[in-house]
Chains A and B, each alone.
Chain A
Amino acid sequence: MALLAVRGLTKRFQGLVANSDIDLEVPEGSLFGVIGPNGAGKTTFFNMLSGFLQPTAGTIEFAGNDITRVGQDRIAAMGLIRTFQLVQMFRGMSAAENVEVGFHLRTRGGIGSALLRPPWLRRQEADLRARARELLDFVGLGRQAEMDAELLPYGQQRLLEVARAMAAAPRLLLLDEPAAGLNAHETEALAAVIQHINERGMTVLLIEHDVGLVTRIAHRIAVLDFGCKIAEGTPDEIKRHPDVIAAYLGTEAADA
């Protein structure tokens, strides 16, 4: 059964059609890629899935629930957690603290317990610290745990954002262009982390401009161009698909 099912999703900004009638099904446990040239509507698509934008038409179903018009924090609470193309670090907090914020949905406690610090809260905090460390080790940032997050190199900030999202124990992890701005070496490290996450049983939906990365690690790929889904298939099918080649290289190249 599909964990995420998108039907007829459309978004218009006044006259501009950013997404037109997109259908997509992401099976549970898969590593699904969405690619497309710049301006194809990938981020708009993503923003609608995560509740940051309201669609003009169409429906989004997540784990059997209609989430089309549900707010972003409630979508997150249902287990759909996203990262951002422009890294959203919590500045002035250490890398470990950034991950600790990620546990927000998986922990409890408000003002009263923060003041009184009952035993259960102390246990929860200790547990959370240990698990934050594990996640940092998992993405290879164990040695940077106490560093100010904003001082980390860009590539490490990306990995930190992934670790932070994993802290929320998502059922579906949405990664918005995680390789943007990374060098080849950093992209390799990131690809390995994404594959490991998926091998742990987490469903991953990856939106990416870097076709090489997606065709290497994704099980299945959908291609967007000018707001429409123009193709879907396995990485090999996508690499040979004439419409995809045309979209990326221009029509002349496809004709030739």
Chain B
Amino acid sequence: MTLHASTFTRRGGRSYLAGAGALGIALLFALVFIKGGYLLTVMQLAMIYGVFCVGLNFFMGYTGQASFGQNAFAAIGGYGSAILCVQFGWEPVLALVASMAVAGIASLVVGYPTLRLRGHYLAMATFALGLITYDLSVQWTGLTQGYMGYSGIPPLGIGPFTVEDERMKLVCLTAILLLGLWISGRLRNSRFGRALRAISTSELGAAALGIRISRYKLAAFVIAALYASAAGSLFAHVVGFISPEVFGLQMVVVTFTMLYVGGVGTVLGPAIGAVIASLLPEIVRSTGRFQDTAYAAVLILMLIYAPKGLSALAGDGRKEG
């Protein structure tokens, strides 16, 4: 009986925490809207990284596979948008969609042979993919303009309607992230999502129930690539400038941090992680030359006290979405 009582209080506490979390996020957006300025840019980037992480979560969270090379597909999105808009004068929305198609095909071609690998080998192969993409973006100057990168990339918009106001940009990016989350939640709680999650903890068990492992892994990989490409394009259109560094190793490290801080395998975790990990450097900035140390210390504390991610504190990831 005591066991039941304690379970109920814990659940009650959790929904209270979830409510507090939602309120906190609403207040944060309100604050950012009122104050404007630099914080707007930070939140815009957080939403873009959020889109990337929600995609990565399909492959690393739901399906439980390692990929250190997802920045390659963000680079396809970013450069695709930049080249199509700056050199060929395409509509930004068309450029975004076309780049996603290219990234999707590229992920199919790359994923088909690579996904035969498992665990550390898969991690190494995808890591190589990211490195190759970085080298290509530096060396293939005819296409990418090397270290110079592309500037003057037009903002998002359809026809005569363009999103140039910084506040409107944040609203649009938030709407896109919410759409990404909605898709993620719907897919997670479906026959497709159950198959992915079964694969993540027991490939043997999944295969014995007739789930075609390689097919589902590939599907998750392609979905992650589509999200990554969209994030890359959004970055190009929102910031207006890209260079190889944008899609380099730093991006891999940052997005991993976001995924694990927020809660890998949950629906909301990747988005929460993206916001927290984006704001944290701004918060610890006041510590001056210790800011990197403070940043790392906070991350370690979070991973110790919320090992399943911050979203797990607020509610059971299993029942979300």
Contact = CB atoms under 8 A, between A and B. Distances in A.
A94 B194 CA distance: 11
Contacts, number: 98
Nearest to B187: A114
A115 B204 contact: no
A80 to B, nearest CB: 10
B306 interface: no
Contacts of B208: 50, 72, 76, 81-84, 88, 165
A8 interface: no
A81 B209 contact: yes
Given A92-B318, A101-B198, A115 B187 contact: yes
A111 interface: yes
A109 interface: yes
Point out which of B183, B200, B205, B213 has the most chain A C-beta atoms below 10 A from its C-beta: B205
A110 B205 contact: no
Given A92-B318, A104-B191, A109-B191, A114 B206 contact: no
A101 B195 CA distance: 7
A164 B204 CA distance: 14
Contact of B211 (A50, A52, A73, A92): A73
B192 A89 contact: no
A90 B211 contact: no
Contacts of A117: 186
A111 B192 contact: yes
Interface string A86-111: 00111111100100111011011111
Interface in A102-140: 102, 104-105, 107-111, 113-115, 117
Interface in B151-206: 183, 186-187, 190-195, 197-198, 200-202, 204-206
A114 B192 CA distance: 7
B191 A90 contact: no
B118 interface: no
A168 interface: yes
A61 interface: no
Point out which of B191, B195, B200, B204 has the most chain A C-beta atoms below 10 A from its C-beta: B191
A93 B186 contact: no
Contact of A110 (B192, B204, B211): B192
A54 to B, nearest CB: 15
A148 interface: yes
A208 B143 CA distance: 64
Contacts of A161: 205
A61 B213 CA distance: 24
A102 B209 contact: yes
B32 interface: no
Nearest to B211: A104
Nearest to A79: B210
A109 B198 CA distance: 16
A104 B187 contact: no
B interface bracket (residues with beta carbon within 8 Å of A):
20 to 34
A253 interface: no
Contacts of B209: 76, 81, 101-102, 104-105, 164-165, 168
B198 A114 contact: no
B194 A101 contact: yes
Nearest to B316: A148
Contact of B318 (A72, A113, A148): A148
Nearest to B189: A114
A91 B265 CA distance: 12
Given A104-B191, A105-B210, A109-B190, A90 B205 contact: yes
B219 interface: yes
B207 interface: yes
B193 A114 contact: yes
A77 interface: yes
A94 B208 CA distance: 19
B210 A88 contact: no
Contact of A73 (B183, B207, B318): B207
B204 A84 contact: yes
Contact of B192 (A94, A105, A109, A148): A109
15 contacts: A81-B209, A88-B204, A90-B201, A91-B202, A92-B200, A92-B317, A93-B318, A101-B197, A101-B198, A101-B211, A105-B210, A114-B190, A114-B191, A114-B192, A165-B209
Given A76-B209, A84-B208, A90-B201, 18 more contacts: A50-B208, A72-B208, A73-B212, A81-B208, A88-B205, A88-B208, A90-B205, A91-B201, A93-B201, A93-B318, A97-B194, A104-B191, A105-B210, A108-B191, A113-B190, A114-B187, A115-B183, A164-B209
Q: Which 4 A-B pairs have the closest CB atoms?
A: A88-B205, A114-B190, A76-B210, A105-B210
